[in-house]
Structure 1
Amino acid sequence: MLKIIFTTVAVAALGLGIWVRSIAPPARYHDRFAVPEADTQTEGGFIAVRRTDEKGFARLVETIAATPRSGRLAGQVEDGHVSFVTRTRIMGFPDVTNVLRTEKGVAIRGHLVVGKGDMGVNRRRIERWLRDAGLS
């Protein structure tokens, strides 16, 4: 009986892992968003805005691209809009980050894909990226 329970739990965990890894299609998450005047906490995410030039935008994109478990979802620096997916270490849950070049500088939005609350993870990640790119 214990063997059956263990096998069922293992198969369910494997199925969950496969599902989580397949839920960040570019067409759905590579979107532009309304840029607020100042940093804004959102439900399930965070938006930061900074004054910078094109070099600062490119530095931020390079910083994000160099982050472990982060990969480019869509877009290019030349487009002024780049999206990334960053996955959690163990289960691989995705958070999506959109980086936009604006008239005043850059806007970056990070948000979860699964669940309702991110416990401030996106805010901390974005603030670290901004600091590492020299934009804090």
Structure 2
Amino acid sequence: MIWTVLVLAAIAGFGFIRFASTDVARWHKPIGDAESTNGEGWSARVIPASSDLLSDLHQGMLALERTELVAGSVTEGRLTYITRSKLIGFPDYTTIEQDGDQIKLYARLRFGRSDLGVNGKRLDRLIENVRAKRTKG
């Protein structure tokens, strides 16, 4: 009996995590002051802006599995995405913003405390992939 209750509670919890709605106003905000660093449950990167780099980063984000744009545009200069983990669907939010001669990237989890470094790794992989594509092209 107790196991049935625990299993049902776990299923309900995972269902909430996977299907929780996105409050765009909460996640699609200006990044503000930033530096390239990692925190508990979040990571930030700051890179020099160049011609069409924001557009290339946008295309790179859209190419990531289980990632979709939730707000913003390249024209606006700020874009926010949701990326969900494969198994449970934990949502991570990434905002990319051009601020003058810098592009700021800020990735953070929605639920829990630790992202086990996945947000920093995602940002680093995105930047590396875009730089590699720009070098080839």
TM-score, structure 1 normalization: 0.87
1:113 corresponds to: 110
How far 1:27 sits from its partner (Å)? Answer: 1.8
Mapping of residues 24-35 of structure 1, within 5 Å: 24-35=22-33
1:84 corresponds to: 81
Q: Kindly indicate whether the alpha-carbon contact (under 8 Å) linking 1:57 and 1:105 is maintained by their aligned counterparts in 2.
A: no
Stretches of structure 1 that go unaligned for 5 or more consecutive residues are none
CA distance in 2, matches of 1:54, 1:99: 15
Deviates more, 1:7-16 or 1:51-60: 7-16
How far 1:23 sits from its partner (Å)? Answer: 4.7
Stretches of structure 2 that go unaligned for 5 or more consecutive residues are 133-137
Superposition misfits of 4+ residues, deviation over 3 angstroms: 4-7
CA distance in 2, matches of 1:67, 1:19: 23
CA distance in 2, matches of 1:11, 1:66: 35
CA distance in 2, matches of 1:117, 1:49: 22
Q: Kindly indicate whether the alpha-carbon contact (under 8 Å) linking 2:70 and 2:81 is maintained by their aligned counterparts in 1.
A: yes
Q: Aligned pair count?
A: 131
1:42 corresponds to: 39
Identity level (%):
26
CA distance in 2, matches of 1:68, 1:128: 13
CA distance in 2, matches of 1:25, 1:65: 20
Give the aligned CA root-mean-square deviation in angstroms.
1.7
